């Protein structure tokens, strides 16, 4: 079982959380202008990387808040936890724009070998409240 | 509600009548709770019909300040419990709190807590919702209470970490519940009403080894 560091409540069991799928999938600016193919790509097509994956989680039996998490899909290492709405901490601000459908992203073929490039491996461990630590 | 509003002079008898007509979610387990408890080791009981109010207000907002004025403060972070007197406020989320007060604080019994909170919120963004029927309360006390809970709760319950006067929304026996440590050896557990029978029986089962006569 994963021990997930909730930014509000500290480390808790995975069973207290629900998974929200891939993070950073923007809603199309003009859904009416999309072709059926593009719309289906927005709705159903997600990355499936071997390595670091940005995903959304909600602490459903705790504080009921959503947050983003970088997780290694090979080792299940949790690399980083960061708020909803902020950029991926392991991507440079200018590169890898979060636009269009996710599957066209330049890093959609990220593999395990890309893992060492992850710059942000820091946990917000200071937010763990007293009594919530394992 | 029409019943209680009928006339102010009949409020008191009506309140008693209202209370007598209610059946708490774990009423059917009362005898088993008594039989399964062992004084001085571990005891369980249901505390029925506590008044509970769900609050939602953004921390630092004017509405939150006014609500804090009624309850005696709002807790600042995970685990914190605020309040004064018999009114306690448990932290559920960054902008979500649970007020726990005695039964008599409920509107239907003549209490004024909920109207006061409603007035404090006014027309601002937020919530004041009567959740008294949402959850029931189990009180688990005794030197073995922690050992019982540790069978089904993954939080660190050691007194070194889990101090009296903190409360967490977590899982007990795989169901969501709020666990509030009210004293060194006493816990309050708030399961939802529909989980009350399951959790009550689960706790009885977990208590059995401590509350049974010792086998020589």
8-state DSSP, B131: -
Cα B92 to Cα B54: distance, rounded to the nearest angstrom: 9
- Contact across the interface for B171 and A9, Cβ inside 8 Å: no
Distances (CA, A) of B94 to A28, A66, B128: 30, 12, 16
Q: What is the largest CA-CA distance in chain B?
A: 66
Closest among A122, A109, A115 to A5, alpha carbons compared: A122
Residue of A nearest to B174 (CA): A15
pLDDT value of residue B14: 77
- Contact across the interface for A61 and B171, Cβ inside 8 Å: yes
Report residue A74: phi and psi, to 5°: -90, -55
Output the DSSP codes for A93-133: SSSS---S-GGGSTTTT--GGGGGG-------GGGPPTT--
Is A8:B78 a contact under the CB 8 Å cutoff?
yes
With an 8 Å Cβ cutoff, the interface of chain B facing chain A consists of 77-80, 92-94, 96, 154-156, 161-163, 166, 168-171, 174, 176
Average pLDDT over residues B24-39: 95
- Contact across the interface for B96 and A16, Cβ inside 8 Å: no
For the segment A70-118, what is each residue's pLDDT rounded down to a tens digit?
Answer: 999 999 999 999 999 999 998 866 544 444 334 333 443 333 333 333 3
Distance to chain A for B211, nearest Cα, Å: 27
Report residue B148: phi and psi, to 5°: -65, -45
- Contact across the interface for B169 and A10, Cβ inside 8 Å: no
Is A80:A89 a contact under the CB 8 Å cutoff?
yes
pLDDT value of residue A93: 61
pLDDT value of residue B124: 94
Q: How many Cβ atoms from other residues are within 10 Å of residue A59's Cβ?
A: 21
Residue of B nearest to A3 (CA): B154
- Give me chain B's average pLDDT, please: 91
Closest among B39, B48, B46, B47 to B19, alpha carbons compared: B48
Average pLDDT over residues A116-125: 40
For the segment B148-161, what is each residue's pLDDT rounded down to a tens digit?
Answer: 999 999 999 999 99
pLDDT over 70, % of chain B? 94
Report residue B20: phi and psi, to 5°: -65, -25
Closest among A124, A45, A13, A123 to A78, alpha carbons compared: A123
pLDDT value of residue B136: 96
* Nearest-10 Cα torsion for B58, B63, B67, B72: 80
For the segment B46-64, what is each residue's pLDDT rounded down to a tens digit?
Answer: 999 999 999 999 988 999 9
Sheet of B186-191, strand order:
B43-47, B137-141, B186-191, B175-183, B166-172
Residues of chain A with Cβ-Cβ distance to B189 below 8 Å are none
Closest among B207, B179, B15 to B107, alpha carbons compared: B15
pLDDT over 70, % of chain A? 68
pLDDT value of residue B10: 53
- Contact across the interface for B155 and A131, Cβ inside 8 Å: yes
Distances (CA, A) of B161 to A113, A128, A134, B85, B110: 39, 12, 9, 25, 40
Cα B101 to Cα B113: distance, rounded to the nearest angstrom: 9
Cα A24 to Cα A46: distance, rounded to the nearest angstrom: 11
Residues of chain A with Cβ-Cβ distance to B171 below 8 Å are 13, 15-16, 61
Closest among B64, B102, B68, B104 to B85, alpha carbons compared: B102
- Contact across the interface for B163 and A130, Cβ inside 8 Å: yes
Distance to chain A for B12, nearest Cα, Å: 39
Is B151:B140 a contact under the CB 8 Å cutoff?
no
């Amino acid at each position: 079982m994963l021990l997930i560091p909730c930014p509000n409540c500290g480390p808790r069991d995975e069973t207290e959380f629900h998974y929200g799928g891939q993070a950073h999938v923007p809603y199309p600016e003009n859904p009416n202008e999309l072709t059926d193919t593009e719309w289906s790509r927005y709705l159903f097509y997600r990355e499936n990387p071997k390595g670091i994956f940005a995903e959304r989680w909600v602490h459903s039996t705790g504080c009921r808040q959503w947050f983003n998490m970088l997780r290694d899909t090979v080792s299940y290492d949790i690399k980083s936890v960061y708020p909803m709405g902020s950029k991926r901490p392991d991507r440079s601000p200018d590169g890898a724009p979060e636009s269009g459908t996710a599957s066209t992203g330049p890093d959609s073929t990220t593999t395990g070998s890309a893992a060492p490039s992850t710059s942000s491996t820091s946990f917000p461990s200071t937010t763990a409240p007293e009594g919530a630590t394992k | 509600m029409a019943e209680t509003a009928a006339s102010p002079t009949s409020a008191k008898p009506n309140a008693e009548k209202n209370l007598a007509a209610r059946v708490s979610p774990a009423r059917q387990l009362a005898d088993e709770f008594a039989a399964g408890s062992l004084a001085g080791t571990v005891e369980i009981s249901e505390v029925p019909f506590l008044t509970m109010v769900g609050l939602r207000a953004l921390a630092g907002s004017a509405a939150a300040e006014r609500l804090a004025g009624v309850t005696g403060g709002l807790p600042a972070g995970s685990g914190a419990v605020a309040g004064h007197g018999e009114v306690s406020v448990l932290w559920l989320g960054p902008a979500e709190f649970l007020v726990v007060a005695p039964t008599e604080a409920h509107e239907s019994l003549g209490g004024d807590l909920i109207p006061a909170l409603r007035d404090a919120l006014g027309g601002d963004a937020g919530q004041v919702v009567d959740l008294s029927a949402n959850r029931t309360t189990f009180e688990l006390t005794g030197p073995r209470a922690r050992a019982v809970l540790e069978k089904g709760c993954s939080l660190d319950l050691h007194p070194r970490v889990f101090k009296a006067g903190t409360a967490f929304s977590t899982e007990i026996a795989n169901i969501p519940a709020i666990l509030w440590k009210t004293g060194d050896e006493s816990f309050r557990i708030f399961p939802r009403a529909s989980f009350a029978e399951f959790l009550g029986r689960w706790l009885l089962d977990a208590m059995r080894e401590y509350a049974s006569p010792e086998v020589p």
